[in-house]
Structure 1
Amino acid sequence: MIGDAFVVDAVTHAYNLHPSNYRAGRYAESLAQLIFGLHTGFSGDGYRIEQPERFLKDWSVKELARILFVESDIDLAVHHVLPLQTLYSDGLCSLEKTLEIRKLYPDRFLVYAGVDPLRGTAALEELEQQVEALKPSGLKLYPAAWLGESFRHTGWRMDDPTIAFPLFERARKLGIKNIAVHKGLPMGAVPLEPYKVDDIGGAADAFPELNFEIVHGGMAFLDETGMQLSLFPNVYVNLEVTGALIVKRERWFAEALAGLLKWAGPSKIMWGSGTVFCHPQPAIQKFWNDFQLPDDLVSVAGMQVTPEVKRMILGENYARYAGIDIAAAKARIAHDAFSKERANGKPGPYSFREESHGH
């Protein structure tokens, strides 16, 4: 917690960015370098890893957990299986790591399955297998994949009745209610079209009993994203990467947040750090302790970001979205190993040592 705010990080990744994991040559390297560039560009002093070889590695789940629950004020987090097997041998965040997270930290993590809809019936079968193994709280999707020997960047739409709708129908039958899709942030030097948000409404309308979570909400297509929030009760925004802007690009963050608040108020905006893309603590700390909308943006948003609004964004909204009982969650983690270690004071960033830290 930070102050009296219970913090849920709605998206985290134990990336495998090591070059030995690359399958698609320059495309895999380009995306890895983009992630590293976002890290160096948006991380504050003392929280930035300068050496590429220290960042472009295979991050362990224990390292991720320590960053989240000892080095920062996060209480619960969501880890996504990433289905980028055409780029990375393990998809970038593997099913195996997510299974390990499930086993080691059941009280600290929720998990999302992840499949590539362009795989057709194979994606449906894979989803069934992941649901059986993981008991996930949601499904993570990317709007494009790199196909064939030439690794052609190929997009698909969330409102496509042939590609998307069979997957949503299967998710519904399997008990998955929350569908998160990467939007607003192209994965390297690729066509922009798949990352637009104009396809969300068709999915939300066709599947009103499912929730659709726009990941990277507000990074681009701000008014279009806000309009989706206002029109459809089952559309939400996840601030992965967007939230990190507050550390070094505060005006950009403020404009994005004001634009989302303008359309639909605070109740559908959820915090996400994207750790390990960057360390989560500086953004959370600045948002809770220091952030206010400038007066000109208060007039845009129609409100100020009060402590009540901050509590909603940092954790209460996601708890409601995912059916988390905050009081029960607090009780489960109150005396675990992470809470005990954090009670002694937060260590410096990236302090994990495999030989000295076991859970």
Structure 2
Amino acid sequence: MLNDLPVIDAVVHAFNFTGANFRNQYGSVFADRITRASMLGPEGFVLDGHDEYRRNWSIDDAARVAFAESQTDLAAYHVLPIMAFRDGACSIEKAVRAKQKWPHRFAFYIGVDAMSGAAALDEMDRQFDMLEGDAVGVKLYPNSWLADEITGWKMDNPEIAFPIFEKARKMGLKAVAIHKALPLGQVELDHYRVDDIDRAAIEFPELNFEIVHGGMAFVEETMFQIRRFPNVYVNLESTSSLLTIRPAQWERVMAQFMQSDGMRKKILWGTGGLMVIHPRAGLEAFQRFRFRQETIEGEGIAQISDDDRRDMLANNFVRMTGIDMAARLAACENDEFSQARRQAGGMLPPFSTAPTASSPQDPAVVKA
């Protein structure tokens, strides 16, 4: 809880950035990029050195950092289809382990490479079955790293994208989360624009589309989308890191996204922890955030309110996915994370629960 407000982190990660997990040359490039970004966090919330990030994070690490070291109550784990890694970077096996241990704490997104064609549809079935149907969405990337050359696709492509959406609709999934606005290395920017989401939102009104990293680029285009389409949301993964490293940019982005009551109900709190930003760092900065008076007057917007925070931190995700937050929170009251915080008299220090790179890890977790 953040000042008695429930917190749902719309994206948490348990990356496997070990060299053994690289499928091709792009794995190292991707791991280095995320590692460098992670080391830009505020003092006290950054690990000591490159090697501390470049390892196989277990789902247990992610859970402890989120639920014992921060105010986060629930979190969405995205299975990642970044096939520059043998396990996609965040594996389905880690999702299964999380479901077995903490089904009340996690919501799950399956993840597939849309450019793998019919195999992607089969993979959706496989992951859905492994989670025993306990999934709320599907995670996609606009690039594919399966071949020697990086290829890309768009959300309005009826041959590549629409079969994925139709499958998601038939499976009863609520959300399609698409990585946008943050190009991953030397790739065409065109695939990271948001314009192609328009047609997807029109053709599949039963699905909700999350612009993951919304606001890192294409702010005005994203603003118009969440204003026009009832089924388009902004996921603040990575964007929330601007709170601590570029606060003026954060304020400009949020001034665009919060221009009306309806738009304020389309924003999902997300950190990308435990690597993109430590979840506690983002939440504490968000708790302090207020629009400056000149921004309020210049943009013609209202000051952020407790109701706005309540919506962004949890209620918007609940409306989008339909999860039973009350039941989940009740199940959290005496679980291992709540007990650990009570015994410690509060949140545990940042990264104190995660092993160092040289620490021994459970072989079963490493294998996952």
Q: TM-score range by the shorter chain?
A: over 0.9
- CA-CA distance at 1:65 after TM superposition: 0.5
Partner residue in 1 for 2:252: 255
Instruction: Name structure 1 gaps, 5 residues minimum.
Output: none
Q: How much has 1:146 moved relative to structure 2?
A: 2.3
SS at match of 2:110: strand
The answer (yes or no) to whether the contact 2:210–2:234 under 8 Å persists in 1 is yes
1:1-359 aligned at under 5 Å gives the runs 1-25=1-25, 27-41=26-40, 43-85=41-83, 87-134=84-131, 135=133, 136-148=135-147, 151-262=148-259, 265-277=263-275, 278-288=277-287, 290-299=288-297, 300=299, 302-343=301-342, 344-352=345-353
Distance in 2 of aligned mates of 1:39 and 1:84: 18
Measured against aligned partners, the alpha-carbon deviations of 1:165-217 in whole angstroms (never above 9, x if no partner) come to 01111111111121100000011222211110010010000001111011001
Give the distance between the partners of 2:251 and 2:242, measured in 1 at CA.
9
Q: Give the 3 Å change call, closer, same or farther, for CA 188–353 of structure 1 in structure 2.
A: closer
Contact in 2 for aligned 1:259/1:301 (Cα 8 Å)? no
**Secondary structure in structure 2 of the residue aligned to 1:139:** strand
For 2:329 and 2:361, the matched residues in 1 are separated by: 23
Cα deviation digits, residues 328-350 of structure 1 (max 9, x gap):
22211111111111122222111
CA distance in 2, matches of 1:129, 1:326: 27
One-letter amino acid of the counterpart of residue 32, structure 2: Q
Amino acid at match of 1:64: A
Displacement of 1:262 in angstroms is 2.5
Secondary structure in structure 1 of the residue aligned to 2:151: strand
Q: Does structure 2 conserve the Cα–Cα contact (< 8 Å) formed by 1:258 and 1:301?
A: no
> For 2:118 and 2:306, how far apart are their aligned partners in 1?
46
SS of corresponding position for 2:239: coil
Report the more deviating stretch, 124-133 or 199-208.
124-133
Q: What secondary structure is seen at the aligned counterpart in 2 of 1:84?
A: coil
Q: Indicate the percent of aligned positions where both proteins have the same amino acid.
A: 41
CA distance in structure 2 between the aligned counterparts of 1:244 and 1:74, rounded to whole angstroms: 16
User: In 2, Cα distance between the equivalents of 1:35 and 1:353?
Assistant: 18
Distance in 2, matches of 1:257 and 1:353, equals 32
Partners of 2:234 and 2:266 within 8 A in 1: yes
Cα shift at 1:265: 2.8
Opposite residue 269 of structure 2, the aligned amino acid is W
TM-superposed deviation, 1:353: 5.6
Q: Aligned pairs, how many?
A: 352
Q: What residue identity is the alignment partner of 2:341?
A: R
Q: Deviations over 1:134-187 (max 9, x none)?
A: 121110000111243xx2121101011110001111111111121100000011
Distance 2:295 2:130 in 1: 46
In the alignment, residue 82 of structure 1 is paired with which amino acid? Answer: L
Change (3 A) 1:294 1:261: same
Residue 248 of structure 1, CA deviation: 2.2
C-alpha distance in 2 between matches for 1:190 and 1:213: 21
Distance apart, 1:258 and its partner CA: 1.0
Cα deviation code 1:76-99 (max 9, x no counterpart): 0000110112x0111100111111
CA contact (8 A) 1:2 1:73 kept: yes
| One-letter amino acid matched to 1:44 | P
Answer whether contact 2:47 2:351 (CA < 8 A) is retained.
no
Q: Per the alignment, in what secondary structure is the counterpart of residue 320 of structure 1?
A: helix
Give 1:356 deviation, angstroms: 12
Structure 2: how far apart are the matches of 1:273 and 1:232? 24
Distance in 1, Cα, partners of 2:141 & 2:229 = 21
Q: Aligned with 2:209: secondary structure?
A: strand
The residue identity in structure 1 corresponding to 2:13 is: H
Kept after mapping to 2: 8 A contact 1:157/1:199: yes
Does the 8 Å contact 1:261/1:301 carry over to 2?
no
Q: RMSD over aligned Cα, in angstroms?
A: 1.7
Q: How far apart, in 1, do the equivalents of 2:129 and 2:101 lie?
A: 18
4+ runs deviating over 3 angstroms: 353-358
